[in-house]
Amino acid sequence: TEEESTEPDHEQQFEQEALVGILVHQCLERYVQAADQKSYLSELSRLHGYWKLKLRHLNLSDGELEALVLSMEATVKRTVGNDKISWLFDSQLTDSQCELPLSRKHEGYLSNRVVDRTFLDSDGVRWVIDYKTGKPNVDEAEAEFIEKQKALHKDQLRDYKRLFEELESSEIRTALLFTSIPKLVELQVD
């Protein structure tokens, strides 16, 4: 049936988005940790072969694969180069962490989480940031996309905030970082 023929495309698209997200997260983590961030960015094209290797099973044409890899590189550079959000990637921020694993036992169940980016700013405020690599659909306004993502991920950020509340007494701010736009969007998750 027609439904069966479109299902693999949907699954492949989902898998592609997930893999791109993982690779972009890795790249942003390495950027924060780089001794020389400028050099790391200038040599980002060296990751193309690795990215293609990770994405090769998606049955993309050579041209599609090349376009995807170039898009990933552009996304990373655009995100870290954005003047409004570049400060997030400063490894000198207090308690600077990327891909921080945290666990919490609640009502007898162990919950494991990985926080994409966290640090204390110069005012002692804990930032808990979740990266989102998805992008608006062709016919979707940016504001509409952001509102949908906020609704989808509010509970996740609330969980992260509760984890940190158990660990420290700092004021905590939570946000989503949309790498495709790029834009930092703070959420109130009390």
Q: In percent, how much of the chain has pLDDT > 70? A: 96
Residue 181 has a CB neighbour count (10 Å cut-off) of 19
Model pTM above 0.75: yes
189 touches 175 (CB < 8 A): no
pLDDT in tens, 68-77: 999 999 999 9
pLDDT in tens, 106-155: 788 888 899 999 999 999 999 999 999 999 988 999 999 999 999 999 99
Residue 98, classed as helix, strand or coil, is: strand
Residue-level pLDDT at 6: 41
